[in-house]
Structure 1
Amino acid sequence: MSLTLEPLAKSFSAVSCKSESDILDLVVRTLEDCYSNVDKVARYYFTDIPAAWGPSIFVYLDDEELLSRKYRKSWNSRDCVLCLKVPTLLHNSVQRWFTKCCSDWERSGLITPNERDMIDGEFGTIYTLPESPFTKSLKEPDILVDPDDQHLPSVLFESGWSEPLNALEADCELLLKGGGGLTKIAIIIKFTLNQKN
């Protein structure tokens, strides 16, 4: 995937960093600088991160003392890229949409109350992917459905407002291929602006 095709994305190389703490400092400093400048960026890519350091940097970024805001994160071990997505109210509206759809399906008889109870969507859950070429990749899907309480979701949703379709497809590829067959369906929700409303 070309990182330069995204209009609201920025890419930063960690190739000059000599340690895990150097990379973490680069990520935190970059995000703080962009946030203080009210930068209109939807995704931040940090490239050239050594594969052994990616998962621990991913986990460090959950520390609320490091970052003043939350980011939806993914670590791609194949490409050695850490992606941080800025979730907005609009971006997170997919969660309300999914909940409403489930209620509508139950009301219309498409699913039973028992089935409704089994398909509650979750978000903010981190999955470690077991399968090559994405072994030890980490991903937070926008919504996931895990009806069998298995290690990985069987259905997931990736949504985007400013991301091009190929970026959303790359997110889905990471989960479908890295999930070793446990994730069966990836649904992309691409928001577009309705000029009338």
Structure 2
Amino acid sequence: MSRRPKPNLSPSVSPEPSPTMITTCANKFVDQSDFEFHVCDAIQRASNPQVLVFTNVSRSWGEQIVESINQTRDGYSTRKNYNSWTKVLRITIMPTVLHDCVQTWWRVTEIALRDTGDLTGYEQTQIETLFRSGPSRCSRKEPDFFIRTNNDLLPSLAMESGWSESWNHLMDDMNLLLVGGDGAINAVVILKWQLNRPATLVSGFVELYVRDRRGMPVCRQREDVFPIPPQTQTPQRLELTRREVFGPHLLPDPTRNGPPNAMVYLEINQLRLVATRALQRMNLRPA
């Protein structure tokens, strides 16, 4: 009797394709019901990561479609962004592991803060990462990662990771969060990844945005992730105040001996490590 060949369980050598971006004007749909059917059908049919961009979407349509998707099981495999200022609805279907590496980056940072005593278990219980409501009236925004404390509706810190998204889209997201958040959102971290030639090499950088004294967004810091820049004596990290990260409502641990460090550092080397692991799962490599 011939033996059945063993299945090949090793990962494919082909790199995971970058998400396909499809742009459609909402004017082509006869009514809201027709629009919702098209969007939900596209999500259900998708077998690979995609980014659906819909332009000229009215506020009522934008709000309703986000709520409709959230009420279905398909809502958990998507990230929805509706900007009522630009009237653009963007839906990321099946976010890649590279999108989600920002969550691991914070987890590593949180462990380091716990080890140094700058974040205690009492304080950790006040922090949550569930975000469904939008930061601006009639808008809906689901960041790739955020931090909010206690009963705050909006996060104090948000992170956006761009893969196939254009730089303009990422800037729209940043402005919606910092300006549309009515001052509740203190800082936004933008990560931008780019697939280069040969088509397995990925470059990337990270930028930190805050508001200036006039309330306008400004880039306070930029750090290259890939390729790795020449080594210097200055640590490569994003520097944020404790208030920028956790907001004004984090209750300090009364049992702590001495005040915590006033700064929170997001180490780029740690981001580089988790991003490299994410790229390996996508059969890609750092540039």
Please state which band the TM-score falls in when normalised by the shorter chain: 0.7 to 0.9
- Mapped to 1, the partners of 2:126 and 2:169 lie a distance apart of 26
Matches within 5 A, 1:11-160: 11-33=23-45, 35-36=46-47, 38=48, 41=50, 43-64=51-72, 67=74, 70-86=77-93, 87-109=95-117, 111-113=118-120, 116-117=123-124, 120=127, 122-123=129-130, 125-130=131-136, 135-160=137-162
8 Å contact from structure 1 (residues 99, 121) kept in 2: no
Unaligned runs of 5+ in 2: 1-17, 195-201, 203-225, 227-284
Report the more deviating stretch, 98-107 or 84-93.
84-93
User: Identity over the aligned pairs, expressed in percent?
Assistant: 28
Q: Deviations over 1:4-55 (max 9, x none)?
A: xx9842211110222211111221233445x25x4x53x2111122222211
TM-score by length of 2: 0.55
CA gap 1:14/1:104 in 2 versus in 1, 3 angstroms: same
Count how many residue pairs are aligned between Structure 1 and Structure 2.
181
Q: Name the one with the larger strand percent.
A: 2
After TM superposition, the score normalised by the length of structure 1 is 0.77
Q: What amino acid is the match of 2:102? A: V
Q: Which structure has the greater CA radius of gyration? A: 2
Contact residue 143 and residue 158 of structure 1 kept, 8 A: yes
Is the CA contact (8 Å cut-off) linking 1:76 and 1:82 kept in structure 2? yes
The superposition leaves residues 27-85 of structure 1 with CA deviations (integer Å, 9 ceiling, x where unpaired) of: 1233445x25x4x53x21111222222111111112436x4972100111112211101
Aligned residue for 1:3? Answer: none
Q: Structure 2 CA distance, aligned partners of 1:52 and 1:94?
A: 32
CA contact (8 A) 1:176 1:184 kept: yes
Verify the 8 A CA contact 2:110 2:119 in the aligned structure 1. no
